[in-house]
């Protein structure tokens, strides 16, 4: 199947679009080349992100990170805003906003759809409205900085919503689990060793296993493997890279090692998976 790139907002550093109901997307999965934030007071339908399905409801913030594969259902309806921005934003963002990247765009399914309180969502919508108005205005020398400032506020407020949601059911174990997911999303292409992550968290392998099982229902090893498999599937489905190249990118010592790992996780060899033409 032909790769479909949705590059809206890629040329400019970011863009904002008002959504008043149905949104028109291809019926084929798309790998986004930009980071995406959807802020909406009403949502219907669903979206699949890297094979994980999320129902769209009232008062939500939806996050899709650059590189992820997404597909909205045919009955999707969103009333709010779509904001897209490239990684250039992180380069000019202050540390307070840049830190939000690891919290919000870490490939963690728990962070994809945030259920916001109405007052928090209303605040975000008001900032988004100002951002849209600014983006539609006349160009001037420092306009990009002004737009980035509004986006910074949205990022920080969204991160605060995420933190408040965690605090409602949080414990020290939950915080460790969240940190673990963030570390895996940042390093899964470099290392698959559970011991590396437990050392970074300053806990034992046994403690990490217990926390992961309690908070996520699966072992640390399966979480790491899941992120690797999702990335491998993305590359096999969307790219023309050889299996040898993919194995190298994912830090496997050989094509055979990668093929064995992939088949163990999916019951298909990498080539057989690619031949299915499905994600």
* Residue range(s) defining the domain that contains residue 87: 5-168
Of the residues 168, 198, 213, the one at which a domain ends: 168
Strand pairing report for 35-44 and 77-85: antiparallel
* Same structural domain, 29 and 93: yes
Of the residues 168, 191, 212, the one at which a domain ends: 168
Could you give the percent of the chain with pLDDT greater than 70? 84
Q: H helices of the chain, where? A: 88-92, 95-98, 100-104, 118-136, 143-168, 172-187, 194-200, 205-216, 220-238, 243-249, 255-266, 270-276
Of the residues 168, 184, 218, the one at which a domain ends: 168
The confidence band for 238, taking pLDDT boundaries of 50, 70 and 90, is: confident
9 pLDDT exceeds 90?
no
2 pLDDT exceeds 60?
no
pLDDT of residue 11: 37
Dihedral (Cα; 204, 207, 211, 217), 10-degree rounding: 100
pLDDT digits 0-9 by tens, 167-178: 545 578 878 888
pLDDT of residue 28: 79
pLDDT of residue 87: 78
pLDDT of residue 5: 41
pLDDT digits 0-9 by tens, 36-51: 999 999 999 999 888 7
pLDDT of residue 170: 55
Separation of alpha carbons 96 and 159, rounded Å? 10
* Same structural domain, 28 and 125: yes
Distances in Å between the Cα of 89 and the Cα atoms of 36, 144, 164, 219, 223 are: 12, 10, 25, 35, 29
Determine the average pLDDT of the residues in 232-259.
93
The confidence band for 7, taking pLDDT boundaries of 50, 70 and 90, is: very low
* Same structural domain, 127 and 63: yes
pLDDT digits 0-9 by tens, 69-82: 898 988 899 999 99
Give the least confident one: 87-91, 196-200, 229-233. 87-91
DSSP per residue, 54-79: EE--SSEEEEE-TT-EEEE-TT-EEE
Closest CA to 15 of 31, 32, 34, 29: 34
Separation of alpha carbons 159 and 161, rounded Å? 5
* Same structural domain, 127 and 181: no
CATH of the domain at 271: 1.10.10.60
Q: Give the chain's domain count.
A: 2
Query: In this structure, how many other beta carbons lie within 10 angstroms of the beta carbon of residue 54?
Result: 17
For residue 46, what are the β-bridge partners?
55
CATH of the domain at 95: 2.60.120.280
Give the least confident one: 3-7, 203-207, 217-221. 3-7
């Amino acid at each position: 199947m032909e790769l479909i790139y949705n590059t809206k907002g890629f040329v400019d550093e970011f863009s904002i679009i008002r959504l008043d109901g149905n949104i028109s997307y291809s019926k084929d999965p798309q790998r986004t080349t930009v980071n995406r934030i959807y802020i909406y007071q009403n949502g219907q339908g669903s979206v699949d992100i890297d094979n994980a399905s999320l129902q769209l409801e009232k008062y939500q913030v939806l996050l899709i990170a650059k590189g992820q594969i997404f597909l909205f259902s045919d009955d999707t309806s969103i009333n709010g805003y779509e904001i897209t921005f490239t990684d250039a934003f992180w380069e000019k963002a202050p540390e307070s906003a840049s830190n939000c990247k690891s919290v919000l765009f870490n490939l963690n399914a728990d962070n994809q759809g945030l259920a916001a309180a109405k007052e928090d969502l209303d605040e975000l919508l008001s900032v988004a409205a100002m951002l849209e108005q600014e983006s539609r205005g006349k160009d001037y020398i420092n306009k990009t900085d002004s737009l980035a400032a509004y986006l910074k506020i949205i990022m920080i407020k969204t991160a605060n919503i995420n933190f408040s949601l965690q605090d409602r059911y949080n414990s020290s174990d939950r915080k460790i689990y969240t940190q673990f997911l963030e570390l895996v999303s940042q390093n899964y292409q470099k290392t698959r060793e559970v011991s590396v992550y437990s050392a970074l968290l300053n806990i034992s392998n046994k403690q990490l296993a217990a926390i992961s099982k309690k908070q996520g229902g699966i072992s640390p090893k399966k979480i790491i493997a899941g992120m690797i498999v999702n990335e491998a599937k993305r590359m096999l489905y969307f790219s023309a890279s050889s299996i040898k190249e993919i194995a190298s990118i994912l830090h496997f010592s050989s094509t055979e090692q990668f093929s064995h790992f992939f088949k163990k996780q999916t019951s298909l060899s990498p080539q057989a998976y690619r031949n299915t033409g499905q994600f």
